[in-house]
Structure 1
Amino acid sequence: MNADRILQSLVEPTLAFGYGQHMEHPKDGLLLYGPYSNPFLGGKLRIGLISTPEGATRYATWVRQISRAIYPKKAGDPNHTVFPGFQAVFQTEWPEVPTAKLVLDATELNHAICMEDRYQAIYKAVSLYADSIVSFIREQSETSIDLWMSVVPEEIYRLGRPKSKVTKEERQQSEILMDKKAATRIFRQPSLFDDDNKNAEIYLYELNFHNQLKARLLRHKVVIQVVRDTTLAPGDFEKSNGMPLRQLQDPATLAWNLATTAFFKAGGQPWKLSTPRPGVCYVGIVFKKEALGADENNACCGAQMFLDSGDGVVFRGAVGPWYSPSNKQFHLTREKARDLMNLIVGSYRRLHDGQSPTELFIHGKTWFSAEEWDGFRETVPENCKVVCVRIQEDSSLKLFRRGQTNIPRGFAWAMSEKKGYLWSKGFIPRLQTYPGREVPNPLSIEIVRGEANINVVMNDVFALTKLNYNTCIFGDGVPVTLRFADSIGEILTAGPIQENLPPLPFRYYI
């Protein structure tokens, strides 16, 4: 351990926006210069809408709202920025009338989600959305959609989650005479009747409307934004005491966040790192246990590849006994580690005219075994430096300062040549606040395999906290390589494993 314990203050990474301009804060850059890359410049988004009639009305009202300026409640507050309107920010129109509009029967949807058997209920509710979209794609193949907006009633959100329960008054009879126990028996010994085998597949899906919908649309390459009625029109929903049903962000902040993620999912690039390191590839390893698998050690492995531009691709790896109950960690075999890295390097080359990466940083939450390390190195070129980095939030180390504010975001301590601590959360001068309630915990960053400068690694991780396109905030507390690891894993395992699922851009999963 360093006896002097010298703290360093990392320079806040800047982002690149339109016209080659650089800013620290995404909202400042978008407000002044627009997005970094805009394939719709001067045109409009091709939006597909699927909702109930009430949801369609609320959606239209919301589009009108984000088409004009939305001011923060408190003028001059550095933590809240005026939203000038979608077209003013992105130089692209969000039309009130969508390119495609699919209207679902609210009564049929409510009947589906209220069925007594929760597997059947959520599967049927998802089918009403997914089947309608897939049918449109097949029948209207000449109509291209940039982004599907799926507006879901509040009861779908309430009852479309694990452990959700339907009240006796709401309960509807299930459509299929089967339950989970019967389905499990069929998985072990298939039935002589094809209908029974098909119906049993319903029980292979996760009890989560959001994850199941995204998982079932992956093979159709559908980009979808799932949004609740209460998000679009919070004023329409109240508790019995007259208070709002949900406590949401202020309207301007909510508009910034939804508009940014929608623009990104549709195919635009809001911003990128202004000073990327050419030839560097960042990979986040994803593991998710199979909740419905016969072997409790089975898990699905995946990887997120992020380039110096900020673009990301998700790869689904193999399913196998990667989980160890003894140490509660996930590890691949040498062969599977090699296969996964082969996919990543191959994809990188295709995106860079045959050029291989010069540096490959693999981020994970657990230790990397010697077997994994050997597998990773087998498939990369000899001149490519591979480094495995373990990143975890660490609550055992607290840093305090005198005064009324927390330590600034960006403090770092190189504890040794292999390990350091990075405070990616903290007081932000631009916002004049710390967006949190507790004393910020640092990220523990440790080089567990390979050779690299710990200060360079910490600076890279700090920069990657600026690439969360699922919102529009100054900086995240976790690098994008790991921010969505859990949610991507949940989508990959939300249904039967899709063996031939191709690598898909990151926007299909968030």
Structure 2
Amino acid sequence: MTTGWRAIHIDEPRLSFGHDQCAEHPKDGLFLFGPVASGQNPARMDVGVIATPAGLEKYSKWIASIEKFIDVPPPAPNRKRNDANTFVWPGFEAVYGAAWPGKPFATCMIDAAELSRRILGADRHQAVYSAVALYEAALRKYLREEDARPQLWFAVVPDDVYKYGRPKSTVPLKLRTPGTRHLGMKAARAILTGGSMFPEEMEAAAVYEYELNFHNQLKARVMDTGQVIQVVKEATLDPPTEKAKAQMQDPATIAWNLSTTSFYKIGGRPWRIADLRDGVCYVGLVFKRIDRPSGRDNACCGAQMFLGSGDGLVFRGAVGPWYSETNDAFHLDQDQAAKLMEMIVRAYKDNHGEAPKELFIHGKTNFEAKEWAGFASAVPQSTKLVGIQIRDNADIKVFRYGANAVMRGTAVVTSETSGYLWTRGYIPRLRTYPGREVPNPLTVEIRRGTADIERVMRDVMSLTKLNFNGAEFCDGLPVTLRFADLVGEILTAGPITPHAPLPFKFYI
């Protein structure tokens, strides 16, 4: 029994790679042993490209560069190089054992002039929607006319599309291009709510149902095609100037991160948690506020299910009045909580033949009684259900003697059900703390069900190492919550319609 406060240290979780070898750092394991053995690992990267002629040229140039060794840049003037925190790139096939042909499996060309004209439109909703339409139409045309399918699509976008295709971006007056009739959000809401006798008005108003974000809108609008999309800026593949190059990650780091996420999205398994517990499932709750034309519905709910192997599924729940302005918190009602959990348990059974032995729900807020009753009603008695609240805590600071920050893995157990966990901090493997400010802990609390708090903290530490969107040492948040905001944005980037659970790779 835990009495009083006590400080402990949780060892760095180990990752498993090829030949059942283990390492703490993804780059160490991939460099020495390659990806974990899996029948899904590709022998060849069959990648399609949707791009302007300039974007296609930059893509080909980048593929040629990652076939070979890329050194790390020299240290900045008057700074000592930290070799533990710099990693050369050995070449794609040397890391992943798969060829990445320079010629795309498929190519969909985008008219650069037309794309520029559309993204610079005066009406921002029309501009982003019509720019996305070029990429969407090109992809759908290929799928209609061709039988062969690439395993992954690179949507290469010019820098202007990235710059002006975001929610708060504004186009200078001198650059704006005239567009179709400007409705405005207020008029669009009136039409969407009350209807219109004119189809062209309904069509124009529908544009305002989509988020002002090129990346999220493109992912949402092609979700029904079953095609996995990697959106990448042209400047990421080939920086246009030395100044742009200086503002970005170095080429070796870009090669590690973009290659890792591409290998994962194409079906490969880069690594997994070494010390897996059979039958354990982790679920992160996803909520996103929405601005509906009318009614009480103010949020969309969803969930991300993860296993220690790194497999992940995203479930879309219902739209409803889940957000409380009074409490500044999201909660489901009992019925919707049960329906969401039913989908999760069913998906787990489909993949494993039986229900999970343990199911941990991670959320940023507490679980209300009726909400928890809904979750519990959909879980078989053989499954141990536990609710964990995880929050960033900026009020607690821990300092150590010397120049280094508190060590990652430091934890203070405050009770049998709660404690503080430093997932950010000094990392011995890197011989540095990869951050700028004093690291904050996570507050980890067992809110529902029973579990060992130290076991829960070890699980959270392990889940900080399952981010296949790059090849970094770790994250500050477990993967169950790390991408919750991004997944929520894509779930609500367009009209909210039900669809079957999709792998996590569709959303990152």
Please, which moves more after superposition, 167-176 or 472-481? 167-176
Q: How does 1:333-482 map to 2 (within 5 A)?
A: 333-353=333-353, 355-482=354-481
Post-superposition offset of 1:408? 1.1
1:237 corresponds to 2:236: no
Q: Go from structure 1 to structure 2 and tell me whether the alpha carbon gap of 1:347 and 1:155 turns closer, same or farther (over 3 Å shift).
A: same
The 8 Å contact of residues 409 and 423 in structure 1, kept in 2 or not, is answered as yes
SS at match of 1:361: strand
Provide Cα deviations, 1:134-189, integer angstroms capped at 9, x if missing partner: 2211221x212111001110110111011221222211111245333321111121
1:505 corresponds to 2:503: yes
Q: How does 1:30-429 map to 2 (within 5 A)?
A: 30-39=30-39, 43-74=43-74, 77-140=83-146, 142-176=147-181, 178-234=183-239, 236-237=240-241, 243-244=243-244, 247-295=247-295, 298-353=298-353, 355-429=354-428
The 8 Å contact of residues 301 and 318 in structure 1, kept in 2 or not, is answered as yes
Q: How well do the aligned residues superpose, as a CA RMSD in angstroms? A: 1.6
Post-superposition offset of 1:292? 4.3
The 8 Å contact of residues 289 and 297 in structure 1, kept in 2 or not, is answered as no
The 8 Å contact of residues 418 and 445 in structure 2, kept in 1 or not, is answered as yes
Look up the match of 1:9: 9
Provide Cα deviations, 1:226-279, integer angstroms capped at 9, x if missing partner: 111111111x136xxxx3376111211111011101110111110000111111
SS at match of 1:219: helix
Q: Go from structure 1 to structure 2 and tell me whether the alpha carbon gap of 1:42 and 1:497 turns closer, same or farther (over 3 Å shift).
A: closer
In structure 1, runs of 5+ residues without a counterpart are none
Post-superposition offset of 1:325? 0.7
Provide Cα deviations, 1:435-463, integer angstroms capped at 9, x if missing partner: 00111100100011111111111111111
Q: Distance in 1 between matches of 2:387 and 2:435?
A: 30
Please, which moves more after superposition, 30-39 or 58-67? 30-39
Compute the TM-score of the two structures, normalised by the length of structure 1: 0.96
Q: Distance in 1 between matches of 2:94 and 2:430?
A: 23
Tell me which amino acid in the other structure corresponds to 1:237. Answer: T
Post-superposition offset of 1:72? 1.2
SS at match of 1:332: coil
The 8 Å contact of residues 67 and 91 in structure 2, kept in 1 or not, is answered as yes
Provide Cα deviations, 1:10-36, integer angstroms capped at 9, x if missing partner: 111101111111111100100011111
Provide Cα deviations, 1:4-63, integer angstroms capped at 9, x if missing partner: 632111111101111111111100100011111455767311101011111111111111
The 8 Å contact of residues 308 and 463 in structure 2, kept in 1 or not, is answered as no
Q: Go from structure 1 to structure 2 and tell me whether the alpha carbon gap of 1:39 and 1:63 turns closer, same or farther (over 3 Å shift).
A: farther
Q: Go from structure 1 to structure 2 and tell me whether the alpha carbon gap of 1:3 and 1:447 turns closer, same or farther (over 3 Å shift).
A: closer
Post-superposition offset of 1:296? 6.6
Compute the TM-score of the two structures, normalised by the length of structure 2: 0.96
The 8 Å contact of residues 297 and 319 in structure 2, kept in 1 or not, is answered as no
Give the share of equivalent positions with the same residue, in percent.
50
The 8 Å contact of residues 4 and 414 in structure 2, kept in 1 or not, is answered as no
